[in-house]
Amino acid sequence: MIISCPHCQAKNRVKAERFNDEPTCGGCGKALLTGRPVALTEASFDDVLAASRRPLVVDFWAAWCGPCRGFAPVFEQAAARHPEWLFAKIDTDANPQLSQRLSIRSIPTLAVFRDRRVVDRVSGALPAMQFEQWLGAALR
C-alpha cells in the first residue's frame, strides 16, 4: 500500500505484512503512522484490514460534504489521543466500489473494524464527546 508521509509528503510503499512494524519514511526517516488518520483506497483497504493488529476506525467521507469537513478535526483529535487504534479516512467519491461493498449509504459514516469485521458503525457527524463515548463502547 502507499502511505503519504505526514512530515514530507513523500509517497512510501509499505507491504501489508510490515504495517505493524512502525514503518518509517524512505525520504525523511520519520514515522509514517503518527497518530493521524491514514487515507485508504479500494486497493489498500483490505490489505490494511487484514494486516492491522489494532482496531481500525474508519471515517467514510467526501470533499463536498459539509458535515464531513466539520467532523474532520474531531476525527483527527481522536486519532491523536488514541494511538493504540488505527484511524483511516476513505473518500467515498474516489472509492465508489468499496463504498458500495460496505453499504455506505450516507456520509459521514463511521465504522469500527476488529478482526476483519465491522464491530459497530454510525452515520452522521458526532460531537467530540459523543464520538469518544461511541468509540469507547465499540472498542470494549
User: Which residues are annotated as catalytic?
Assistant: 65, 68
**29 exposed, middle or buried (CB, 10 Å; 0-12, 13-18, 19+)?**
exposed
- Which one-letter DSSP state was computed for residue 14? -
b/e per residue 1-15 (b: at least 16 CB within 10 A): bebebbeeeeebebe
What is the sign of the dihedral through the CA atoms of 113, 29, 18 and 91?
A: positive
Confirm if 33 and 8 have CB atoms less than 8 A apart.
no
Contact present, 85 and 119 (Cβ < 8 Å): no
Exposure string (b/e) for 67-78, b if CB count within 10 Å is 16 or more?
Answer: ebeebbebbbeb
